Amino acid sequence: MPRKGELSKTARASLANREEVNHLTGRICAKCGEPIMLKELQPVKVIGKGMVYYHKNHYSIQQ
């Protein structure tokens, strides 16, 4: 438990992550081959292949 007047561990981590809300991820779009910003990231789980990452506007269900 945090002491009186202190933030919990979860609240501190949330504040630390808020600074880098939209940053460049290490993921590459499977369709265009370019790096993806966090706000544009669309992870998709493909059976037998694992996770595949797309830009949100590049992903469509009929691929």
pLDDT tens digits, one per residue of 30-51: 999 999 998 889 999 999 989 9
Return the residue matching tokens 């290490």: 26
The answer to whether the CB of 27 falls within 8 A of the CB of 41 is yes
Reduced to 3 states, what is the DSSP secondary structure of residue 3? coil
Lowest-confidence pick of 30-34, 51-55, 59-63: 59-63
Rounded CA separation 30/7 (Å) = 40
Q: What's the pLDDT at 12?
A: 76
Q: What's the pLDDT at 6?
A: 82
Rounded CA separation 43/40 (Å) = 10
Higher-confidence residue: 4 or 33?
33
